[in-house]
Amino acid sequence: RKLHTETNFTIWQSGVTDTTFIDNQVTGLVEYDYAITAVDQLGNESPLSVTVSSYPATFDGGILIVDEWIQDYAYFPDQAEQLAWMDTVMGTTPFMVETVETNGAALSKGDAGRFSSIFWMDEDIFTKILTNSNSTLDWYLSNPTNVMIDGYQTIQNWSTYTVPPDHLLRQEFGVSNFN
């Protein structure tokens, strides 16, 4: 393991035979790199594996604003204007903006897990990138976190389960399905 900004790896744990590893000695909002080697019975060590980078899921880094605002109409605010608006609205609240503006883009657990709240801003009428992040959002919501999803017809495109007729989502917002 090493900090993402460091050059050399240090042996963090040896003798691991399991297929999963949880590093409980990490600091929030710090990116770590991991690589593994294998050692055979004669002591021959393999080269380092491909490096994997991630932030620990500490759920304490303020607010993550996921910007799915695709600049596809000339009269919409451009990216700089959108960021200025976010900065004004958030004031002194710590936040970071993650932009997902292409089909196939998805929010990673490493990015989501750094924050206590996610504001997903989706104003595009046709492109719904939110669905690419379902597994990350399901995982994120299984922890003590908050999510706000804002967008034109976003809920309609992220729907699986029927909302009971007496549920607040149906009565107040007309949502008939959710995931």
The string of DSSP letters for 113-165 reads TT-SEEEEEE--SS--GGGGGHHHHHHHHTSS-EEEEEETTTGGGS--EEPPT
pTM above 0.85, yes or no: no
CB 67 within 8 A of CB 121: yes
* 9-29 pLDDT tens trace: 998 888 888 888 888 888 888
| Per-residue pLDDT reduced to its tens digit, 82-137 | 888 888 988 898 888 888 766 677 888 888 999 999 988 876 655 667 778 888 88
